Amino acid sequence: MAAAARVIAIAGNSTAAASSCLLIKTPFALQRCSNGLRFNNVRRSSKRLFSCNAIYNPQVQIKQEGQPETLDYRVFFEDTSGKKISPWHDVPLHLGDGVFSFIVEIPKESSAKMEVATDELYTPIKQDTKKGKLRYYPYNINWNYGLLPQTWEDPSLANSEVEGALFGDNDPVDVVEIGESRRKIGDILKVKPLAALAMIDEGELDWKIVAISLDDPRASLVNDIDDVEKHFPGTLTAVRDWFRDYKIPDGKPANKFGLGNRAANKDYALKVITETNESWAKLVKRSIPARELSLV
């Protein structure tokens, strides 16, 4: 069984090791090296490797199947032997020193609603559908948007700190990356969390972690929520309002937000990441029923 073949690998510094659970398929192994973490080298592939800023020498490439903006379009992740891997399960979350992997699903200034297909083998990125039709946002999203791998918002677990003790939305944790560069679908970035928004979407808790890529020119200036307000004024309000209102053009009510309708600070964001990483670990170890979710 593929999920059972995963092994626990604790990576990064001692602080990260104490709080993280990295489950990786056996073809991969993380090693310590002079400049951080890297995947063991495996046979070189002739396919073009995409630039990844999150992981040192990750040896991860993406393969597109089908045509963009069609029902068949998929973006798969592969190792250099050509073996498919899961961007949700096989890319490590923790990189040490409070830095995390972030996988881009939706590039900034685009409107196609791309997402990891959590119910398909190897969880490729695809365009979401509704009633058999491709979904688009009513207007472009203004930031790079995607997920934190190895996290899961457990739909059976209620969060007592958010008004209404809401349950998770059964997806990986979402990330809004506020850097200036427009990224590509499938890019893996190294980010640091700055804040968290507790979005309430049709009665479910849908966390939005606000983060910045470490290669952004202003990344060194922002380390917590107050820095965002100083160096990216109005951004947290803009993120909240965008996600509050994007369903209104479709005739749906505005989304709501817990925690007093305000963004929480970095420490709270790290708490959310830790808790959802723990939920993911239970999921892939089958301590919690997976139901329709793919663990491969």
* Domain boundary assignment for the chain: 93-119+127-284
pTM of the model: 0.82
Fold assignment, 93-119+127-284: Inorganic Pyrophosphatase (3.90.80)
Tens digit of pLDDT at every position of the chain (296 positions): 444 344 333 333 333 333 333 333 333 333 333 333 333 333 333 333 333 444 444 678 999 999 999 999 999 999 989 999 999 999 999 999 999 999 999 999 999 999 999 999 999 999 999 999 999 999 999 999 999 999 999 999 999 999 888 899 999 999 999 999 999 999 999 999 999 999 999 999 999 999 999 999 999 999 999 999 999 999 999 999 999 999 999 999 999 999 999 999 999 999 999 999 999 999 999 999 999 999 99
Closest to 125 in 3D by CA, of 171, 86, 156: 86
| Residue pLDDT, tens place only, 196-242 | 999 999 999 999 999 999 999 999 999 999 999 999 999 999 999 99
3-state SS, one letter per residue, for the chain: CCHHHCEEECCCCHHHHHHCCEEECCCCCEEEECCEEEECCCCCCCCCCCCCCCCECCCEEEEEECCCCCCCCEEEEEECCCCEECCCCCCCCEEECCEEEEEEEECCCEEECEEECCCCCCCCEEECEECCEECEEEEEECCEEEECCCCCCCCCCECCCCCCCCEECCCCCEEEECCCCCCCCCCEEEEEEEEEEEEEECCEEEEEEEEEECCCCCHHHCCCHHHHHHHCCCHHHHHHHHHHHCCHHHCCCCCEECHHHCCECHHHHHHHHHHHHHHHHHHHCCCCCCCCCCCC
Residue 50 has a pLDDT of 37
Marked catalytic residue, from 137, 139, 145, 268: 137
Phi (first) and psi of residue 35, to 5 degrees: -115, 20
| Residue pLDDT, tens place only, 95-125 | 999 999 999 999 999 999 999 999 999 999 9
| Residue 137 falls in the annotated catalytic set | yes
